[in-house]
């Protein structure tokens, strides 16, 4: 049986989430960035990294504890590389920083074919897929990774969490070829911690083999989760390690100190971001089979992959596009009953009437 969703007008969501960020001292521009990513995540069915997660993360380790600094200014470090920039975010709002970085990377790609932004002293940007999707919508190929807010993942063969959930996000400009951008976005743990929090909110169990409790024993109770397991054994562990090593080259903190307190003298506790955007024209070999152009060749390659009896296979980003279309048909963002009730805590924080199920129609 499919889950029941309620249709929340986007203006309601924007007003509540923006007011919560403003209440915590963030600028209007930062609040707008937080709303933008939260709405885009919700619209595409990414319920683990939407507004509730953003505000929870900020409350737990962000503006209330110095992990994130409202209204901080980004500093650009000197560099001899014209297509690559290094930023010191000074613990600025993560979504505002990330949107600025992807925009700058696209401008660099317009000029040089490729643009790269490395960000040190950052606060978590939530859903990496949202930034690469934005670039893909506008005709670019894009990649981002980050070091996660805290170390929650046990390395393959280990027992103590010393890695983040460390996502990788890729976006491809395939709207002309397929009708939507292909977006490959995943945590390197079997499930993201946001998924654990979502299931706890919904009162549902975790699958087997994804998490450990405080004693290091497997658990399916999301309320007892202490650490997560990398997907694909050594393969997921290696992919998680990529984010940590990239972050180490940028200047990132030791994983077990990230957003923890106290921090030893001289050490750091901040995240890093890495963005790369490139223009499809910069990699166009202009020698496609049968005289196809770049878009036609992408379409032909995907058609071949999904042929031969694979017609029911799903491309990354396809389900997100379907969920977005469902939101559009219903005229708003879709939330579950548990999510509607959870937003009541945000309403209480800013002193407004909480949402009620009766305020909203049931989604078709």
pLDDT attached to residue 2 = 64
Cα angle value 229/235/240 (rounded, 5°): 65
List C-alpha distances in Å: 101 to 66, 94, 96.
22, 10, 9
Kindly give the interhelix angle for 193-202 and 337-350, rounded to the nearest 10 degrees.
Answer: 100
- Decide: 239 and 163 in contact? Cβ < 8 Å: no
Question: CA 296 from chain center: how many Å?
Answer: 30
Question: Residue 330 corresponds to which tokens in the numbers above?
Answer: 């219903």
Write down the pTM of the prediction: 0.93
- Of 171, 317, 118, 155, residue with least CA distance to 239: 155
Rounded CA gap, 359 and 312, in Å? 38
pLDDT attached to residue 94 = 98
Which one-letter DSSP state was computed for residue 210?
S
- Of 140, 143, 146, 154, residue with least CA distance to 119: 146
- Decide: 38 and 15 in contact? Cβ < 8 Å: no
Rounded CA gap, 90 and 79, in Å? 18
pLDDT attached to residue 198 = 85
SS3 168: strand
SS3 153: strand
Which neighbouring-strand residues pair with 115? Answer: 277
Question: Residue 187 corresponds to which tokens in the numbers above?
Answer: 């945590």
Strands 227-228 and 211-212: antiparallel
pLDDT attached to residue 197 = 84
pLDDT attached to residue 1 = 41
| pLDDT tens track, the chain, 364 positions | 468 999 999 999 999 999 999 999 999 999 999 999 999 999 999 998 999 999 999 999 999 889 999 999 999 999 999 999 999 999 999 999 999 999 999 999 999 999 999 999 999 999 999 999 999 999 999 999 999 988 999 999 888 899 999 999 999 999 999 999 999 999 998 888 878 888 988 899 999 988 888 888 889 999 999 889 899 989 999 999 999 999 999 999 999 999 887 889 999 999 999 999 999 999 999 999 999 999 999 999 999 999 999 999 999 999 999 999 999 999 999 999 999 999 999 999 999 999 999 999 999 9
| Rounded CA Rg of the chain | 21
- Decide: 81 and 18 in contact? Cβ < 8 Å: no
Kindly give the interhelix angle for 10-23 and 28-43, rounded to the nearest 10 degrees.
Answer: 140
Strands 75-76 and 211-212: unpaired
């Amino acid at each position: 049986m499919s889950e029941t969703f309620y249709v929340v007008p986007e203006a309601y969501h924007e007003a509540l989430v923006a007011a919560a960020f403003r209440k915590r001292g963030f600028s209007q521009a930062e609040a707008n960035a937080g709303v933008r990513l939260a709405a885009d995540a919700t619209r595409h069915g990414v319920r683990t990294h939407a507004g509730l997660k953003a505000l929870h993360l900020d409350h737990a380790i962000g503006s209330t504890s110095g992990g994130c600094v409202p209204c901080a200014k980004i500093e650009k470090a000197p560099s001899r590389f014209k297509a690559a920039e290094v930023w010191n975010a000074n613990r600025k709002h993560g979504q505002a920083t990330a949107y600025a970085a992807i925009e700058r990377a696209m401008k660099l790609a317009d000029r040089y074919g490729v643009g790269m932004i490395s960000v040190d002293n950052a606060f978590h940007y939530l859903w990496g897929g949202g930034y690469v999707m934005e670039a893909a919508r506008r005709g670019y190929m894009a990649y981002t990774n980050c070091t996660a807010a805290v170390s929650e993942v046990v390395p393959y063969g280990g027992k103590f969490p010393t890695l983040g959930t460390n996502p990788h996000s890729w976006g491809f400009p395939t709207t002309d070829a397929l009708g939507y951008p292909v977006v490959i976005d995943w945590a390197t743990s079997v499930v993201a911690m946001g998924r654990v929090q979502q299931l706890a909110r919904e009162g549902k169990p975790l699958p087997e083999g994804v998490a450990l409790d405080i004693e290091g024993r497997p658990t399916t109770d999301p309320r007892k989760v202490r650490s997560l397991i990398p997907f694909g054994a050594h393969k997921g562990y290696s992919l998680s390690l990529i984010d940590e090593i990239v972050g180490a080259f940028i200047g990132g903190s030791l994983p077990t100190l990230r957003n923890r307190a106290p921090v030893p003298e001289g050490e750091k506790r901040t995240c890093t971001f890495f963005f790369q955007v490139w223009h499809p024209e910069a990699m166009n070999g202009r020698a496609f089979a049968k005289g196809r152009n770049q878009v036609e060749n992408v379409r032909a390659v995907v058609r071949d992959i999904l042929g031969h009896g694979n017609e029911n296979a799903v491309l990354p980003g396809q389900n997100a596009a379907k969920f977005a279309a469902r939101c559009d048909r219903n005229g708003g963002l879709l939330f579950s009953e548990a999510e509607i009730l959870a937003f009541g805590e945000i309403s209480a924080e800013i002193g407004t009437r909480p949402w009620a199920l009766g305020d909203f129609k049931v989604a078709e």
